[in-house]
Structure 1
Amino acid sequence: MTITVIYFEKVSPEIHKMIETYKEPTTEIVYWHDLNDSQKEHFLSRAHYFITAAFPITRSIIGKAPNLKLIQKTGSGVDNIDLEAAEERGILVASTPGANSSSVAEMTIGMILCLYRKLHFLDQETKQGKWLMWEHRPFMFEMKGKTHGIIGMGNIGKKVALLSKGFGTNVIYFNRNRLSIEDENKLGISYTSFRELLTISDIVSLHIPLLAETRNLIGETELNLMKPNAILINVARGNIIDEKALVQALKTGNLLGVGMDTWSSEPMQADNPLLQFTNVLATPHVGGGTRDVLENVLRLSFENIEKVEKAKMPNNLV
Structure 2
Amino acid sequence: MLRVKAICLARCVHLAASWGKLADKYLSKRTKKSRTSLLNYRTSRNNNSKIMERKELPGILVSEIGGPFGVLESHVEFLKMHFNLITMKEFQKSKEELREKIKSVFVFEGRPLVDRELLESLPDLRVIGNSGVGVNHLDLKLISSFGVKITNTPHAVSDSTADIGMALMLASARRLVEGCDIAMSPQTKHFCVDWLGVEVTRATLGIIGMGNIGYKVAKRAKAFDMNILYHNRNRRKEEEQVVGATYCKTIEELLQRSDFVMLVVNLTSETHKLIGKKELGLMKPTAILINICRGAVVDQDALAEALQNGIIKAAALDVTDPEPLPRDHQLLQLKNVIITPHIGTATVQALRMMTEEAVENILAVLNDRPIPSEVYPN
TM-score (norm. length: structure 2)? 0.76
Structure-1 residue corresponding to 2:104: 49
Structure-2 residue corresponding to 1:61: 118
* Cα pair distance change 1:87/1:20, threshold 3 Å: same
Per the alignment, in what secondary structure is the counterpart of residue 48 of structure 1? strand
Over residues 47-99 of structure 1, what are the superposed CA-to-partner deviations in whole Å (9 max), with x where a residue is unaligned?
32111244153334333333321100112222111111111111011111121
What is the CA distance between 1:301 and its match in structure 2?
A: 1.8
Structure-2 residue corresponding to 1:149: 206
Structure-1 residue corresponding to 2:296: 239
1:293 has 2:376 as partner: no
Structure-1 residue corresponding to 2:74: 18
Structure-1 residue corresponding to 2:329: 272
Structure-1 residue corresponding to 2:61: 6
Structure-2 residue corresponding to 1:184: 240
The letter for the 2-side match of 1:162 is K
What is the CA distance between 1:313 and its match in structure 2?
A: 4.1
The letter for the 2-side match of 1:21 is E
Over residues 106-143 of structure 1, what are the superposed CA-to-partner deviations in whole Å (9 max), with x where a residue is unaligned?
100100111111111222222224255335633x1110
Larger mean Cα displacement after TM superposition, 254-263 or 267-276: 267-276
Larger mean Cα displacement after TM superposition, 10-19 or 281-290: 10-19
Structure-2 residue corresponding to 1:227: 284
Q: Within 2, Cα distance between the matches of 1:43 and 1:238?
A: 40
Over residues 249-269 of structure 1, what are the superposed CA-to-partner deviations in whole Å (9 max), with x where a residue is unaligned?
112023221111112223433
What is the CA distance between 1:241 and its match in structure 2?
A: 0.6
1:27 has 2:83 as partner: yes
Over residues 216-261 of structure 1, what are the superposed CA-to-partner deviations in whole Å (9 max), with x where a residue is unaligned?
1100100111101211011011111111111211120232211111
Note if contact 2:64-2:71 (Cα within 8 Å) is conserved in structure 1: no
Match of 1:202 among 259, 264, 275: 259
Per the alignment, in what secondary structure is the counterpart of residue 173 of structure 2? helix
1:163 has 2:220 as partner: yes
Match of 2:365 among 304, 308, 316: 308
Over residues 169-226 of structure 1, what are the superposed CA-to-partner deviations in whole Å (9 max), with x where a residue is unaligned?
111111111122x432221011123111111111000011111111111001001111
Structure-2 residue corresponding to 1:251: 308
TM-score (norm. length: structure 1)? 0.89
Structure 2, gaps ≥5 residues long: 1-55
Structure-1 residue corresponding to 2:318: 261
Q: Within 2, Cα distance between the matches of 1:37 and 1:2?
A: 16
Q: Within 1, Cα distance between the matches of 2:226 and 2:336?
A: 22
What is the CA distance between 1:41 and its match in structure 2?
A: 6.2
1:134 has 2:189 as partner: no
Note if contact 1:125-1:131 (Cα within 8 Å) is conserved in structure 2: no
The letter for the 2-side match of 1:286 is I
* Cα pair distance change 1:239/1:41, threshold 3 Å: farther
Q: Within 1, Cα distance between the matches of 2:216 and 2:279?
A: 25
Per the alignment, in what secondary structure is the counterpart of residue 144 of structure 1? coil
* Cα pair distance change 1:26/1:259, threshold 3 Å: closer
Note if contact 1:9-1:54 (Cα within 8 Å) is conserved in structure 2: no
Q: Within 2, Cα distance between the matches of 1:26 and 1:296?
A: 16
RMSD (CA atoms)? 2.6
Q: Within 2, Cα distance between the matches of 1:172 and 1:207?
A: 13
* Cα pair distance change 1:133/1:231, threshold 3 Å: same
Structure (1/2) with the larger helix percentage: 2
The letter for the 2-side match of 1:185 is Q
Structure-2 residue corresponding to 1:102: 159
Per the alignment, in what secondary structure is the counterpart of residue 124 of structure 1? helix
Structure 1, gaps ≥5 residues long: none
Structure-1 residue corresponding to 2:229: 172
* Cα pair distance change 1:25/1:213, threshold 3 Å: closer
Q: Within 2, Cα distance between the matches of 1:39 and 1:257?
A: 50
Q: Within 2, Cα distance between the matches of 1:237 and 1:155?
A: 16
* Cα pair distance change 1:67/1:230, threshold 3 Å: same
Q: Which has the larger radius of gyration?
A: 2
